C-alpha cells in the first residue's frame, strides 16, 4: 500500500463515523467488471456495489445520459412535473406490470413508503390504527426505523427499540408459520422474493402461491421487497415474475439507478387509488430529473445489451462452477441462490477467505458470517466466472 492510500485511510478513520469495518483499500475508478485502487491495482468485482452496478463500470452511454441531464437541470422538486420522472415511471410500469410509482432516494425509503401505503389502505377500510404486518425471520429491509421494524434479525433491532409496533414474524418458505400469525388485524405480509442478507434464500413456488392465495382470500396486501433481487438479478426484471405471483406493493432500488441513489415503491391500482393521497407522503429529492434520467437509461440499456439473456446464460455456468467448488472442499456445505445472486455456505466464518481474495485481486462479500455472496455486474462473462473461481480456489 502506498503512503498516499494509507494517508487517505487514516483520514477516513478520523473523519467518518465508524459504522463500517472497511477493507484496507481506497477504490478509485472502474472499467467493465474491474475496479482499481489508488495505486492502480486491479480487482475483479463480484460485489458490484452490493448488487448495484448491474451494467458494469464506465458504461459510456450511461455516463453520457447523466452528463446531458446535469447540463439541463438536476433538481426541481415534486411541486412540478419533469420529463425524466414521467418517462421513468412509464418505463418502470412497463417492466414491472405495476400501476403506480413513487420515487425515493433509497431502498430503505421505498420500504418505509410501502409500509405507510399498506397501513393507509387498511385504515381507509375500517378507520382503525392497530393493523398488523407479518414479515419474515432473517429478512433485511433497511436501517431506518420503519424498515428496521420489519427486519427479522433481533440483533439489528434491539438497541433501537421501541420501533413501530404491530409487527409479527414468520418463517420464510413455511406457509403454516405465516398462517399462525394471521389475525383479523393483519393488513400486509412482506418478504424478499430472494432473501439477501439473511442467507440467499429464494422463495419456493409453493410459498409464493400460498401467501398470494391467503392475501386474496382475506384482502391482505402482499408486499415484495425486490431491492436486491430485482432489476434482472435473477434473470427476470423482477424475481416474482418467474413465479407469476404479482404483489400488491413492490419495492425496488439498487440496480434501478446503477449507482445513482434512487429507489421506488410501486402499487397496483387497487392500492394506489385507496391508500396514499396528497399530504400523506413526500420527498424532496425523490424522482428528481437526474435520478430519473439514470433510470430511463438503465432500462433502455438492459434491453439494448440483452442483460436478462446474459444473466440466464451465465448464471447457469456460475451455478455449475460453484457446485463443483462445493463438492471439492469439505468446508463448503452447499450452494444456493437464483440467477446472479448466489451464496456458498461454509461450515465456518468466511471473513478470512474474503480478505485473502481481496489481496489476490477479487472483491467478494459475505451474507451472514458463514456465507460468501456472489452479486457481480450482470454483464459478466463465463471467462469472468472462470477467473473468479481460479482466484477463489487459491484462497481456499
pLDDT in tens, 153-173: 999 999 999 999 999 999 999
CATH of domain 61-304: 3.40.640.10
DSSP, res 203: P
What percentage of the chain has pLDDT greater than the value 90?
99
The angle at the Cα of 117, spanning 115 to 121, to the nearest 5 degrees, equals 120
Task: Specify the pLDDT at position 335.
Answer: 97
* CB-facing half-sphere around the CA of 335: CA atoms within 13 A: 20
Task: Specify the pLDDT at position 126.
Answer: 95
Task: Specify the pLDDT at position 50.
Answer: 97
Distances (CA, A) of 56 to 106, 315, 377: 20, 16, 5
* CB-facing half-sphere around the CA of 374: CA atoms within 13 A: 28
**Average pLDDT of the chain, as a whole number:** 97
pTM beyond 0.75: the answer is: yes
Mean pLDDT value of segment 92-101: 98
pLDDT exceeds cutoff 90 at 132: yes
pLDDT exceeds cutoff 90 at 1: no
CATH class of 3-55+306-395: alpha beta
Mean pLDDT value of segment 281-291: 97
**Residue 62 in contact with residue 379, Cβ under 8 Å?**
no
For the segment 315-373, what is each residue's pLDDT rounded down to a tens digit?
A: 999 999 999 999 999 999 999 999 999 999 999 999 999 999 999 999 999 998 999 99
What percentage of the chain has pLDDT greater than the value 70?
100
Domain residue ranges in the chain? 3-55+306-395, 61-304
Residue whose cell numbers read 460485489: 47
Task: Specify the pLDDT at position 351.
Answer: 96
Task: Specify the pLDDT at position 387.
Answer: 98
For the segment 182-234, what is each residue's pLDDT rounded down to a tens digit?
A: 999 999 999 999 999 889 999 999 999 999 999 999 999 999 999 999 999 99
Distance CA 336, CA 108 (A): 25
| Region for residue 50 given its phi and psi (left: phi exceeds 0; alpha: psi -120 to 50; beta: otherwise) | left
Task: Specify the pLDDT at position 105.
Answer: 97
SS3 percent helix, strand, coil of the chain, rounded to 5, is 45, 20, 40
Amino acid at each position: 500500500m502506498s503512503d498516499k492510500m494509507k494517508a487517505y485511510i487514516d483520514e477516513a478513520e478520523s473523519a467518518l463515523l465508524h459504522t463500517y469495518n472497511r477493507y484496507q483499500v481506497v477504490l478509485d475508478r472502474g472499467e467493465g467488471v474491474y475496479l482499481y485502487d489508488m495505486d492502480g491495482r486491479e480487482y475483479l468485482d463480484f460485489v458490484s456495489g452490493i448488487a448495484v452496478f448491474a451494467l458494469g463500470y464506465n458504461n459510456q452511454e450511461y455516463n453520457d445520459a447523466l452528463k446531458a441531464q446535469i447540463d439541463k437541470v438536476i433538481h426541481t422538486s415534486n411541486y412540478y412535473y419533469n420529463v425524466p420522472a414521467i418517462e421513468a415511471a412509464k418505463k418502470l410500469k412497463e417492466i414491472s406490470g405495476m400501476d403506480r410509482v413513487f420515487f425515493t432516494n433509497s431502498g430503505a425509503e421505498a420500504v418505509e413508503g410501502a409500509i405507510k401505503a399498506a397501513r393507509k389502505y387498511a385504515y381507509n377500510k375500517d378507520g382503525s390504527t392497530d393493523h398488523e404486518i407479518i414479515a419474515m425471520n432473517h429478512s433485511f429491509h433497511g436501517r431506518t426505523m420503519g424498515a428496521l421494524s420489519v427486519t427479522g434479525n433481533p440483533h439489528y433491532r434491539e438497541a433501537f427499540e421501541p420501533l413501530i409496533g404491530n409487527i409479527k414474524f414468520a418463517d420464510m418458505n413455511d406457509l403454516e408459520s405465516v398462517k399462525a400469525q394471521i389475525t383479523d388485524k393483519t393488513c400486509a405480509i412482506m418478504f424478499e422474493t430472494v432473501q439477501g442478507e439473511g442467507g440467499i434464500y429464494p422463495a419456493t413456488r409453493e410459498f409464493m402461491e400460498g401467501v398470494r392465495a391467503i392475501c386474496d382470500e382475506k384482502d391482505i396486501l402482499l408486499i415484495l421487497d425486490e431491492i436486491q433481487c430485482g432489476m434482472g438479478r435473477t434473470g427476470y426484471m423482477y424475481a416474482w415474475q418467474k413465479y407469476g405471483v404479482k404483489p400488491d406493493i413492490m419495492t425496488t432500488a439498487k440496480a434501478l439507478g446503477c449507482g445513482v441513489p434512487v429507489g421506488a415503491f410501486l402499487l397496483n391500482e387497487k392500492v394506489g387509488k385507496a391508500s396514499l393521497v396528497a399530504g400523506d407522503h413526500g420527498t424532496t429529492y425523490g424522482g428528481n430529473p437526474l435520478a430519473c434520467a439514470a433510470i430511463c437509461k438503465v432500462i433502455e440499456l438492459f434491453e439494448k445489451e440483452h442483460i436478462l439473456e446474459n444473466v440466464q446464460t451465465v448464471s447457469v455456468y456460475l451455478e455449475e462452477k460453484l457446485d463443483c467448488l462445493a463438492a471439492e472442499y469439505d468446508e463448503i456445505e452447499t450452494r444456493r441462490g437464483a440467477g446472479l445472486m448466489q451464496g456458498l455456505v461454509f461450515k465456518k466464518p468466511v471473513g478470512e477467505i474474503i480478505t485473502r481474495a481481496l489481496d489476490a485481486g477479487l472483491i467478494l462479500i459475505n451474507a451472514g458470517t458463514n456465507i460468501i455472496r456472489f452479486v457481480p455486474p450482470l454483464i459478466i462473462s463465463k471467462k469472468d466466472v472462470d477467473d473468479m473461481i481460479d482466484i477463489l480456489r487459491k484462497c481456499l
